[in-house]
Amino acid sequence: MTEASRSDEPDPTTAERRRGGLWRDRNFLTYWGGQSLAQFGSQITELALPVLAVLVLGATEWEVGVLNAAGVAAFLVIGLPAGAWIDRMRKRHVMIAADAVRIVALATIPVLWAIGVLQVWHLVVITLVIGVATVFFDVSYQSVVPSLVRGTAIPEANGKLEATHQLAGIAGPALGGWLVGVLTAPFAVLATAGTYVASLLALLFTRDDEVVAPRHEHEPIVRAIGVGVRWVFANPYLRRIVGTTAVSNFFSVITYTMLPIFLLRELGLSPAGMGVVFSFGAVGGLLGAVATPHIVRWLGEARAIPISSIGFSVAGLFLPAAALVPEIAFVVLVVQSAVGMFTVLVYNIVQVSFRQRITPKPLLGRMNASIRFFVWGVMPIGALLAGVLGTAYGAVVTMWIGAIGGLLSILFVVIGPFWALRELPGVTAEDEATAEALIKD
């Protein structure tokens, strides 16, 4: 449907309210259903791959660090140009292609295992390929929502997507642990490949109203990248959100890189037990996604950001603290996981919705790619550092370094304009003019 043909229709947000909101939007429900299945499958692989590396292939701390780094290295290497490229293409089409690449990459794992040649370095290469596809998928995923829904429906759509992500996370890790036991880790990843097939099919049947600029209007890639970066850092709210998220991600990846070794070797948990810990985190995340609208009404959108960042930073200290109380370590871990993910989800829903609302559509891809570059680009560095620290000092000490360092992340949003406001601003005519000037400059 073209923009012209939409001009005679009622405002989509008003129409959605009359029809019962997004629950009666068949197009969004198709998209939501496919992505929910894909999120479910990704939770299985998030458990199966570490188990495969640590217990089956006997990976060292350094190898686990390299494997974790491989999963997010693409955000550092191609994160910025990916946003500029994506703004030149239909984002839904990019997601379809990315799903296809991930399906093929995952399918190689059981094949290599079946012929008896699978090694850790194979997992690293496969994870790198999946990471590249995920860069394009995730940047498009965060940028496509405004072309599916309108106005005040954007936070509702994000909330539904996050809620089902967490709901999938509740059952996904537990099912992943069961599948690892029944099928073995190499074959459990086929379940994820199947859900990516479902995502691909759902995307084929989803329709959007995105209009891509004609090829002759495309600006040079380097300039397009610069536009996205300047937009992000010219906004005082966005740059503080980037600071908090980047520092938090850097230190949390140090902690979580060592988590499989800590759970499976130090504490002696089974893959199923590890899945239960992850599942409780997803329960907390689901509750956080459901509670976010109520928390925003109570605290205000602006104050919800620093308060939630304090919550997940302090909760991070209890992860390595579980080693101090081995007799109740499992209880500490599941409570920490639930509380930590509750606050992370509140933070993510509020700040992602704000980012989408404050950014004009022509800059959405570049904005999301720029932010992803900085907040995800630090993660491969943190993962490699975790491998070095883990080799030198062990998993527990490394996790303490990550947890204590994570407290620094709150400074960007605790000291700043968020406390003085209740609601965050929306896009203004001045913002539209600034965006147009950046594009034409």
* pLDDT tens per residue across span 325-362: 988 999 999 999 999 999 999 999 888 888 878 887 77
287 touches 59 (CB < 8 A): no
pLDDT over 80 at 127, yes or no:
yes
pLDDT value at 89 more than 60: yes
The answer to whether 422 touches 307, Cβ cutoff 8 Å, is no
Is residue 6 situated within a structural domain?
A: no
Q: What is the pTM of this model?
A: 0.74
b/e sequence 168-207, b meaning 16+ C-beta within 10 Å = bbbebbbbbbebbeeeebbbbbbbbbbbbbbbbebbeebe
- For residue range 258-268, what is the model confidence (pLDDT) as tens digits? 999 998 888 88
> b or e along 124-160 (b: 16 or more beta carbons within 10 Å of the residue's beta carbon)?
bebbbbbbbbbbbbbbbbbbbbbbbbbeebbbbbbbb
CA distance 118 to 48: 15
- Residue 121: CB partners within 8 Å, gap ≥ 6? none
Q: What is the arithmetic mean of pLDDT over 389-411?
A: 94
If phi > 0 it is left, if psi is from -120 to 50 it is alpha, else beta; for residue 93 that is alpha
Calpha distance 350→298 (Å, rounded): 13
Q: pLDDT tens across 226-248, in order?
A: 777 888 888 888 889 999 999 99
pLDDT at position 213: 54
Both tokens of 335, joined, read 């409570």
Q: Is residue 319 part of a domain?
A: yes
Domains in the chain: how many in total?
1
pLDDT value at 164 more than 50: yes
Out of 29-43, 170-184, 291-305, 321-335, least confident range = 170-184
pLDDT band of 431, cuts 50, 70, 90: low
**Per-residue confidence (pLDDT) for residue 434, from 0 to 100:** 61
- How far is residue 190 from each of residues 96, 179, 276, 368, 392, measured CA to CA in Å? 18, 10, 21, 30, 35
Of 169 and 98, the one with more pLDDT: 98
Q: Looking at the predicted structure, is the pLDDT value of residue 318 above 90?
A: yes
> Residue 107 belongs to a domain with what CATH number?
1.20.1250.20
Q: Is the pLDDT of residue 317 over 90?
A: yes
pLDDT category at 394 given cuts 50, 70, 90 is very high
Is residue 117 assigned to a domain? yes
Q: Does residue 11 sit within a domain?
A: no
Is 13 a member of any domain?
no
Q: What range defines the domain where residue 424 resides?
A: 18-440
User: Is residue 1 one of the residues assigned to a domain?
Assistant: no
**Distance of CA 305 to CAs 34, 237, 417, Å?**
29, 11, 11
What is the pLDDT at residue 14? 44
Q: What is the mean pLDDT of the chain?
A: 82
> 366 CB contacts (<8 Å, ≥6 apart)?
83, 84, 87, 224, 225, 227, 228, 231
